[in-house]
Structure 1
Amino acid sequence: MKREFTVFGIYPVIEAIKSGKSLDKLYVIKDSQNPKIDQILQLVQESDTTVVEVPVEKLDRLTRSNHQGVVATLSPISFISLDDLVENSLEKPTPGLILVLDQITDVRNFGAIIRTAESTGVDGIIIQKKSGAPVSGDTVKTSAGAVFNVPICKVDHIKDAIYYLQGSGFTTLAATEKAQQDIYTEDLSGSVALIMGSEGRGIAPSVLKIVDTQVKLPMLGKINSLNVSVACGVCLYEIVRQRL
């Protein structure tokens, strides 16, 4: 973990929060009885910070110094609310395009996806607070700085975000090898929210049940799936192609 994006110790973390720093993740020692750590948890309760309870061994690995039971990773960006993201997208003269990532965990894939999203005019990216890749210095590097140009929204639950997008007029499109039709048969000229799944298990079954449409990419070789960042790029550029 890069030091310039890490704060540890009770009072340094409290000061970072009070000074307005945007925290990506907050690691706290499991079963803490320290009232100061409770104070930190209260300070981030209404924020986009992902809170993870971990054993002391995990904190020891994150920093070799005296962490006092708490380690925070700073985000290089500020996050946008779901309301603002959708509103800003719909206010544009062109059809909306939002990317939803269902627990992408590899920071290199995450950064590559952000880079492609910026290149294809994506209005913003929605990620889940827990179980996803962090927005860190590595994200900045792998996205070639594109992370500063694409609004990112953190939500508690992907399903709730999808319901909100559907209610706002977006067609929710899940890219999955389980689909019956390929993406080239789908009309993507309207406002679209493209959902991409994690590297291992893909899109969660509970999410697939509620999307408007499922599409796949034709696979002509022996391998039955693509790297998620590659698949995302192909899907986004098909949307661009239909809108040109």
Structure 2
Amino acid sequence: MENKQITYGIHATLEALKSEQEIDKIFIQKELKSQPIKDIEHLAKKANIPVSYVPIQKLNRLTKENHQGVVANISPIKFISIETLLETSFQNKENPVFIVLDELTDVRNVGAIIRTAECTGVSGIIIPKQGGAAINAQTIKTSAGAIFNMPVCKVDHIKDALFYLQSYQVETLAATEKTENTVYDIDLKKPLAIIMGSEGKGVSKTILSMANHKAKLPMLGEISSLNVSVACGVFLYEIVRQRL
């Protein structure tokens, strides 16, 4: 599998799971039903790691080695807990900024956002364990290596992360066209989490309803929306402008 770290084989994957390796996804050959396969499924479910059941041809494309019907994507970075992220962020800054990515699917967009986030002093990125883009070699390349300087937190559910952020008095701001407010209308000097939605659907309805604030960017041309990484960059630099 080009440009990705993988482990393959039943026993190697089991050991990776038991040692709590950062696994993004597990691919299992369809119709395999042995006890070790059931053990992998159980441990993956317990750790909330997505499992895809695929034909053997897919696994053969992922690796030419003897995979025994199992291949796992290993994350190239170590994730931190949301508790650790918030505790350390408030120790280092009075008014930290976070970015919450609500099911973005393009790894290059995620990488570009992380690069801009690092340049603008963001304290951390929060992503879902399932439903979003994996952190892989493409993410690292697009971030120009900034990901190694940026704490990244994976959470089971974005809505729970928002509750936790708000318990720390972090205000949440959703980037959405479904509002009359622009980002220039809002005070961005407080502890803040910017919520960026997926490329196709934007911020999900449930998450949108939980946000303290909603804001859009003024669009003066014929095109009705910006690329999500570009939009995020505009939001972040408005934060920088207000705080300078």
Give the equivalent residue in structure 2 for 1:103.
Answer: 103
Corresponding position of 1:168: 168
**What letter matches 1:119 in structure 2?**
C
Moved more, 9-18 or 234-243: 9-18
Residue deviations 1:59-106 (CA, integer Å, cap 9, x gap):
344334443232111111100001111111222233011100001111
Instruction: Give yes or no for the alignment of 1:69 onto 2:78.
Output: no
Q: Does 1:145 align with 2:116?
A: no
One-letter code of the match for 1:27?
F
Partners of 2:114 and 2:162 lie apart in 1 by 19
CA distance in 2, matches of 1:139, 1:234: 20
**SS of the residue 1:237 aligns to:** helix
- State the 1:32 CA deviation: 4.3
Matches within 5 A, 1:26-105: 26-30=26-30, 32-44=32-44, 47=47, 50-56=49-55, 58-105=58-105
What is the CA–CA distance in structure 2 between the aligned matches of 1:151 and 1:230, rounded to whole Å? Answer: 21
Matched residue SS, 2:109: helix
Give the whole-Å Cα distance in 2 for the aligned partners of 1:186 and 1:176: 14
The answer (yes or no) to whether the contact 2:101–2:127 under 8 Å persists in 1 is: yes
Pairing 1:200–2:200 present = yes
8 Å Cα contact 2:41/2:51 also seen in 1: no
Q: How far has the Cα of 1:199 moved from its partner? A: 0.5
Return the offset for 1:46.
Answer: 5.4
Structure 1 residue runs of 5 or longer lacking an equivalent are none
Q: Which runs of 5 or more residues in structure 2 are unaligned?
A: none
Determine the C-alpha separation between the residues in 1 that align with 2:30 and 2:212. Answer: 40
Q: Distance in 2 between matches of 1:113 and 1:3?
A: 20
Residue of structure 1 in register with 2:190 after alignment: 190
Per-residue deviation, 1:43: 4.3
SS in 2 for 1:203: coil
Moved over 6 A (4+): none
Q: Which residue of 2 aligns with 1:128?
A: 128
CA displacement, residues 202-236 of structure 1 (integer Å, 9 cap, x when unaligned): 11011111111100001011111000000000001
SS for the counterpart of 1:209 is helix
User: Does the CA contact (< 8 Å) of 1:115 and 1:144 recur in 2?
Assistant: yes
Matched, 1:177 2:155: no
- Does residue 1:214 correspond to 2:214, yes or no? yes
Structure 1 residues 114 and 93, CA gap change in structure 2 (3 angstroms): closer
Tell me, yes or no, if the aligned pair for 2:27 and 2:54 is still in contact at 8 Å.
no
State yes or no: 1:115 paired with 2:119: no
Sort the Cα spacing of 1:193 and 1:30 in 2 relative to 1 into closer, same or farther, 3 A.
Answer: farther
Output the amino acid matched with 1:146.
A
**Structure-1 separation of matches of 2:119 and 2:13:** 35
The one-letter code sitting in structure 2 at the alignment partner of 1:198 is S
Quick one: distance in 2 between partners of 1:134 and 1:39?
23
Indicate the SS of the match to 2:179: coil
**C-alpha distance after superposition, 1:168-195 (max 9, x if no partner):** 1110000011121000010010000000
Aligned to 2:236: 236
With the length of structure 2 as denominator, give the TM-score of the two structures. 0.92
Quick one: distance in 2 between partners of 1:187 and 1:65?
55
Q: TM-score, normalization: structure 1? A: 0.92
